[in-house]
Amino acid sequence: MKLEQNEKPLLFSETTIPDIFFSEYLSDLPGDYLKIYLYISFLSKYGKDIKLNDLSKKLNIPLKTINDGLKYLEENNLILKKTNGYIIKDLQEFTLHNLYTPNLTMSKEKVEQTSKNKSRAKAIEHINNMYFQGIMGPSWYNDIDLWFKKFDFDEQVMIALFDYCYNRGAMHKKYVQTVAEAWASNKVKTWNDLDQYYEKQETLNKYKKTIAKKLGKYGGLTEYEEAYIQNWVLNFGYDMNVIELALKRTTLKQNPTFEYINSLITDWHDRNLKTPAEVTEFLEQRKKQEKSTKELKAKTNKKSNYEQRTYDNLDFLYANKASEGGSNV
C-alpha cells in the first residue's frame, strides 16, 4: 500500500490536521479508525510503501480492524483509494467543493440569507453557540437546514433535538438524524407535539418497569419485549389496566412467554375491545361458552356410552336366545 503527500525530512516535518477534521469528522470516528487515520496521515508525507500487516503490528490493531478502518475512512471521504494504495484527501478542498454544490448543500451565509425567517437563523446560531462553542462545522449548517425542510420541525423542536443529543453525549450526525427521524415518525413538528411525545415516552417507560416487575424480569426486558409493549401502548392505545388483564392470565399457563401475552392483547385489539370492562365482558362470555361446550360434550359422551352399553346388552340377549334356540333343536 502506497501513501502519497508532500515529503520533508523527519526531523523538521510536521503532520498537519486541518481544523475542519475536528469540527466535521472527529466525533463520528471510532477510536481505532482515528489511530489509523492519524498514522497514515503521518506516513503519507514520505511516499513510503507500507503493508497492512506491518500497519497492524505497528498500531497493535487486528488486521480485520485495519481493513474495516480503511473502508470506513474511504466511505467517509477521508481517504481516496487508488490502484496501488490511498491518497489522504484535502479536507478543506473537499468541504469547500461540497459547500458550493448548487441545490445540494448550503453554507452558513446561504442559510442566513435564504432561511424562511429570522427566527430560524437565530435558532441555528443558538445551536452553534450552545452546543458547538461557536465553531460548528459548515456541513452542520447544511444538515440543519435540510432537516428543517425534511421534518418540518419548528425552531424550538430543532433546538430541543440538539439539547437531547448533547445531554446524552452523542453529538454526531448519525445519532442526531436517528433521533430526528424517530420524532418525525411520531408526528412531532411543534413544541406541543414534542411535549405530548415526551409524556407518552414517560408513560411507556413506567409501563415497562411495572410489567418487568410483575413478570419477575429483574434483569430487565429485551429489545423485542420492549417493542411489544411499545406496540400495545402507542399503536393499540392500551393502558396498564388492560395490559394487567393479560398479565393475570399468565397464571393459567406454564412458562408463559411474551409471545403468549402479545397474542392475547393483539386478539383483543383485533376484536376492537378498548376498555378493561369490554375485555372482562368478553372473557366472561368466552368462559361461559367454554363451560357450555364442555357440558354439551360431556352429555354427548354420556349418551354415546349409554347407547353403546344398550347395544352391548342387546347383543348379549341375542346371543343367549341363539344358544337357547340351539338347545331346543
What is the per-residue pLDDT for 316? 45
Report yes or no: 161 and 153 within 8 Å, Cβ to Cβ.
yes
What is the per-residue pLDDT for 320? 47
Q: Which residues of the chain have pLDDT under 50?
A: 101-105, 115, 314, 316-329
In Å, the largest CA–CA distance within the chain is 136
Residue written as cell 413478570? 215
> Could you tell me the pTM of the whole model?
0.51
Domain boundaries, the chain: 2-95, 103-189, 194-274, 278-329
What is the per-residue pLDDT for 115? 45
Cell of 202: 414517560
Q: What DSSP character marks residue 254?
A: S
Residue written as cell 447544511? 142
- Give the SS3 label for residue 239: coil
Q: Classify domain 2-95 at the CATH topology level.
A: Beta-Lactamase (3.30.450)
What is the per-residue pLDDT for 102? 45
- Give the SS3 label for residue 171: coil
Nearest Cα to Cα of residue 79 among 94, 64, 62:
94
What is the per-residue pLDDT for 118? 76
Nearest Cα to Cα of residue 148 among 109, 182, 116:
116
Cell of 106: 448550503
289-311 pLDDT, tens digit per residue, is 888 777 777 777 666 665 555 55
Measured between alpha carbons, how far is 171 from 163 in angstroms, rounded to an integer? 9
Report yes or no: 56 and 19 within 8 Å, Cβ to Cβ.
no
Report yes or no: 208 and 229 within 8 Å, Cβ to Cβ.
yes
173-219 pLDDT, tens digit per residue, is 889 999 999 999 989 999 999 999 999 899 999 999 999 999 888 88
